[in-house]
């Protein structure tokens, strides 16, 4: 099959929203084919995205709900995936907190006034997400309208640890030493910071849910740097509190990377689906997690730089490991890398649809 502009999803007509394969899989119900989407599917690897981004900065684009929705819908349509994700960022709630968030070309987010001690937590501006992040709710409404019921819409936020790590490190970090030291040395400041983040994040996600997202994903992208003991003591109670503060009935996907030693604890924090990276095998991970959760993942994003034949082989193996148990959502093990060839992303989606029919 040649495949240029748009992909064909296996089903011919639209199922009712709740019957969509992505939402069936979130609820661990049988579905006619394996649903697939990609983290960072609306990003720099897509020429359509780069064209929109040429005219404005990343934060300006997030603030333009009409363009943000266009980016979300274009990516979902172009790829033929089974879910769309809103165009926003896990760090947007930090803007109204007043810590001086900027996105810099090349080295990602920077925070001018990082959190290092109790007084820094005290000066965080109290946030009303309905006021300061209303544009995200508008992006949800416009994305939904643009998708027109074709595929479900995913909302998202950062999980408390990953958001705290940006606030404390002041940007991206490899070892997260400053975060770990604060967590160990100043338990009270850690607790107060995590509680602030939980409250804002719960409001942020409940606002997205009220505006119409069908599911939410929590990105705990960097939590894999912690020992199980530290996760249990310093992270699990907060993530658990956050998830239990979300409006019930909306599936929660709980994702992190390098979490091979934390999976059971992440499951215990709550959520319907655990997101896996490529460092674990799906069958072994799911065995450990047990039948009460679904799983999502987990192709190595670097494999999308290989050729179509290798991608198809890797997808086939991934689906074989996932098996036929309901509750599996195909995805990468982390976000699409910026230089990824679009044709290879299409090959990935097509291969899941081809090999994932029931
Ligand atoms: O398509 C989608 O998945 C939706 C949009 C989305 C973005 N960020 C847009 C974005 C999502 C789901 C995120 C989540 C996010 N943001 C995470 C968790 C996912 C992960 O990768 O672990 C993290 C850690 C962030 C924080 C963040 N935002 C970083 C580290 C960066 C810079 C990194 C980079 O790729 O340059 C951003 C900026 C950002 N967020 C971009 C996009 C498309 C790139 C901005 C640009 O230059 O256009």
At 332, list the tokens: 């990468």
Tally of domains in the chain: 1
The per-residue pLDDT for 358 is 87
**Cα 80 to ligand 1 centroid, rounded to whole Å:** 21
pTM of the model: 0.95
**What number of other Cβ atoms are within 10 A of residue 241's Cβ?**
17
Strand partners, 252: 216
The residues near 350 (Cβ < 8 Å, ≥ 6 apart) are 1, 3, 7, 80
Residue-wise over 158-184: b if at least 16 C-beta within 10 A, else e?
bbbbbbbbbbbbbbeeeebebbbebbe
Residue 223 maps to a domain: yes
The reply to whether 357 falls in a domain is no
255 in contact with ligand 1, CB cutoff 6 A = no
Whether 14 is in a domain gets the answer no
- Position 7 scores a pLDDT of 52
- Closest Cα to atom 22, ligand 1: which residue? 221
For residue 314, CA distances in Å to 63, 89, 298 come to 38, 29, 10
Considering only CA atoms, which of 346, 350, 338 is closest in space to residue 46?
A: 338
Whether 79 lines ligand 1, by a CB cut-off of 6 Å, is no
How much is the pLDDT for 2? 42
Instruction: Answer for the pair 75, 41: CB distance below 8 angstroms, yes or no.
Output: yes
Q: Is 150's C-beta closer than 6 angstroms to any atom of ligand 1?
A: no
Closest residue CA from atom 38 of ligand 1 = 108
274 lies in some domain = yes
Residue 297, phi then psi, degrees to nearest 5: 145, -160
Ramachandran angles phi, psi of 355, nearest 5°: -85, -15
Q: Say if 282 falls within a structural domain.
A: yes
Q: What is the pLDDT of residue 5?
A: 44
Specify the length of the chain in residues: 358
Residue 327 counted as domain residue: no
Q: Is the CB of 190 under 6 A from ligand 1?
A: no
Which residue out of 42, 70, 335 has the highest number of ligand 1 atoms within 8 Å of its CB and is therefore the one to mutate? 335
Catalytic residue numbers?
Answer: 40, 44, 53, 89, 166
pLDDT of residue 106: 80
Structural domain span for residue 259: 47-288
Q: Are 333 and 301 in contact (CB under 8 A)?
A: yes
CATH number, position 141: 3.20.20.210
Domain-embedded: residue 262: yes
Q: At 166, which helix (H) or strand (E)?
A: helix 160-169
Q: Residue 131 C-alpha to ligand 1 middle, in angstroms?
A: 23
List the pLDDT tens digit at each of the 358 positions of the chain.
Answer: 345 445 555 554 566 777 999 999 999 999 999 999 999 999 999 999 999 999 999 999 999 999 999 999 999 999 999 999 999 999 999 999 999 999 988 889 999 999 999 999 999 999 999 999 999 999 999 999 999 999 999 999 999 999 999 999 999 999 999 999 999 999 999 999 999 999 999 999 999 999 999 999 999 999 999 999 999 999 999 999 999 999 999 999 999 999 999 999 999 999 999 999 999 999 999 999 999 999 999 999 999 999 999 999 999 999 999 999 999 999 999 999 999 999 999 999 999 999 999 8
Residue 38 lies in a domain: no
């Amino acid at each position: 099959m040649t495949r240029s502009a748009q992909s064909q999803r296996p089903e011919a007509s639209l199922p009712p929203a709740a019957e969509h394969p992505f939402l069936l899989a979130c609820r661990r119900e049988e579905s006619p084919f394996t649903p697939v989407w990609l983290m960072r599917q609306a990003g720099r690897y897509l020429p359509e995205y780069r064209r929109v981004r040429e005219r404005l900065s990343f934060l300006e684009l997030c603030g333009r709900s009409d363009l943000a929705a266009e980016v979300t819908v274009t990516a979902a349509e172009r790829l033929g995936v089974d879910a769309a994700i809103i165009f926003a960022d896990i760090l947007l709630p930090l803007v109204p907190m007043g810590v001086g968030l900027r996105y810099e070309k090349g080295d990602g987010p920077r925070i001018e006034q990082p959190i290092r001690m109790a007084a820094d937590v005290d000066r965080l501006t109290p946030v009303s997400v309905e006021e300061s992040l209303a544009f995200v709710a508008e992006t949800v409404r416009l994305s939904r309208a643009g998708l027109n019921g074709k595929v479900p819409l995913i909302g998202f936020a950062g999980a408390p640890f990953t958001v705290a790590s940006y606030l404390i490190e002041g940007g991206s970090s490899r070892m997260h030493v400053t975060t770990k030291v604060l967590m160990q040395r100043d338990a009270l400041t850690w607790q107060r910071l995590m509680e602030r983040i939980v409250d804002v994040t719960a409001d942020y996600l409940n606002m997205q849910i009220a505006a119409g997202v069908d599911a939410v994903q929590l990105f705990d992208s960097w939590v894999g740097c912690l020992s199980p003991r530290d996760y249990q003591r310093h992270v699990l109670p907060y993530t658990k509190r956050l998830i239990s503060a979300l409006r019930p009935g909306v599936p929660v996907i709980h994702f992190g990377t390098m979490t091979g030693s934390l999976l059971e604890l992440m499951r215990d924090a709550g959520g319907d689906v655990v997101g896996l990276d490529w460092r674990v095998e799906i069958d072994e991970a799911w065995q450990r997690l047990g039948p009460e959760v679904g799983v999502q993942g987990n192709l190595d994003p670097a494999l999308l730089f290989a050729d179509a034949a290798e991608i198809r082989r890797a997808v086939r193996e991934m689906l074989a490991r996932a098996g036929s148990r309901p509750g599996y959502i195909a995805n990468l093990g982390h976000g699409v890398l910026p230089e990824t060839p679009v044709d290879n992303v299409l090959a990935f989606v097509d291969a899941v649809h081809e090999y994932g029919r029931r």
